[in-house]
Structure 1
Amino acid sequence: MSARPMFPLGSVLFPHTPLPLRVFEPRYLTMIGRLLDDDDPRFGVVLIERGHEVGGGDRRSATGTMARLVSVSAGAEVVHAVVVGTERFSVDEWIDDAPYPRAEITPLPDLTWNDALTPLRTEAEAIVRRALARAPEARWDARTELSDEPLAAAWQLAAIAPLGEYDRYALLRSTTTGGLLRQVIDLTLEAELVW
């Protein structure tokens, strides 16, 4: 168990997936500034289940993903950062938000890859890419490149699937790679039915 800086967001971060951040709240500007001086510039990202990103008073999810700072650029009153998700964790206890949110966390076990899952991954990719091409307002392009590493690609499929945040949170909580891929397929097919 260790205390880490935390960044509650209205979106889910997946392992092996980039996320651009626009940081403007003073407490998170302080956090990013301190992380830039750190040998291990990582912080936790959790989904806000209820409430708002700005100002606190939110209800935060119990599972999140560590984010590694990849790049930071400063504007007039805002910092633009790009992070990449690393390992998942569970929140054991929230610590006072001063000067920024922090929590005691425990890493979750990494999922493992088995080559027998290749057909399921191929099916999931075909369904997600088809859905992205048809989705009314998809965040990702149907031609988005995935990692050559199969487990990373499985997480990236979860990230690019055109789903709502609660479905994405369910995917983040997967306990097996096969379960993750099966849920990606099922949830994407369900989402296609309502477009």
Structure 2
Amino acid sequence: MAVLPMFPLGSVLFPHTPLLLRVFEPRYLTMIGQLLDQDDPQFGVVLIERGHEVGGGDRRSSIGTTARLATVSADADVLHIVAIGTDRFTVEQWRDDEPYPRAEVSPLPELIWNEALTPLRTEAEAIVRRVLARVDGPWDPETELSDDPLAASWQLAAIAPLGEYDRHVLLRSTTVGALLRQVIDLTLEAELLWAAE
């Protein structure tokens, strides 16, 4: 079991996907400052299921993703951070939030890619790109995906036009097949909702 600095957020981070953050809260500025002294700076990201990011009292997900710091730049009292999601974990126990949130975590097994899933991944990608072309969102339907099929499967989950609850369901997937099937089902459900509006 490892103890990780934690960054609870109102959004889900998936493995193999980027995370862009503007950090201005003193406790997280302290956390990033300490991480920059490490050879391999990493922190955990979990979804805030209920409550607020500031002032405590929030309810945090028990499953999250480790983020590896890639770049940090400063602008007045704000740090601009780019991190990359790596591995998923389960939170075993939260430590004290002072000076910043920390938790004891256990790694979750990495999902295993099987070439037999290629048609399912192709179908999922086609559906996600089709729906992205019809809705306004942060992701372009032409967004490039990794050549690695496992990484691309997680990236499809990240760019699918879904709410955070659905994204959290995807993060909990235990197989790549289940991940891709849920990406398809949830994206088609979202498409029906948009069509009904």
Aligned-pair distance for 1:49? 0.2
Deviation of the 1:15 alpha carbon: 0.1
Q: Which residue of 1 aligns with 2:108?
A: 108
Tell me the SS of whatever aligns to 2:85. Answer: strand
Give per-residue Cα distances to partners, 1:170-189, cap 9 Å, x unaligned.
00000000000000000000
Please name the residue that 1:56 is paired with. Answer: 56
Residue type of the partner of 2:30?
Answer: T
Map 1:72-111 to 2 at 5 A.
72-111=72-111
TM-score, normalised relative to structure 2: 0.97
- State how 1:1-195 maps to structure 2 within 5 Å: 1-135=1-135, 137-195=136-194
Amino acid at match of 2:141: A
Once superposed, what is the RMSD of the aligned Cα atoms?
0.5
Give deviations 1:126-160, integer Å, cap 9, x for gaps: 0000111111x311110100000000000000000
Structure 2 counterpart of 1:139, which letter? P
DSSP 3-state at the match of 2:151: helix
Letter in 2 for 1:134: R
Aligned counterparts of 2:72 and 2:56: Cα–Cα separation in 1? 24
Separation of aligned partners in 2, 1:156 and 1:54: 29
Deviation at 1:30, TM superposition (A): 0.3
Find runs of 4+ consecutive structure 1 residues off by over 3 angstroms: none
Deviations 1:23-53 (A, max 9, x none): 0100000000000001120000000000111
| Structure 1 unaligned spans of 5+ | none
The 2-side partners of 1:73 and 1:57 are apart by: 30
Q: Once structures 1 and 2 are overlaid, which stretch shifts more, 67-76 or 47-56?
A: 47-56
**Paired residue secondary structure (1:134):** coil
Cα deviation, 1:45-103, whole Å, max 9, x if unaligned, reads: 00000011122221100000000000000111110000100000000000000000000
1:14 Cα offset (Å): 0.2
Ranges in structure 2 where 5+ consecutive residues have no aligned partner: none
Write the distance in 1 (CA, Å) between the matches of 2:167 and 2:145: 18
Cα drift, residue 190 of structure 1? 0.2
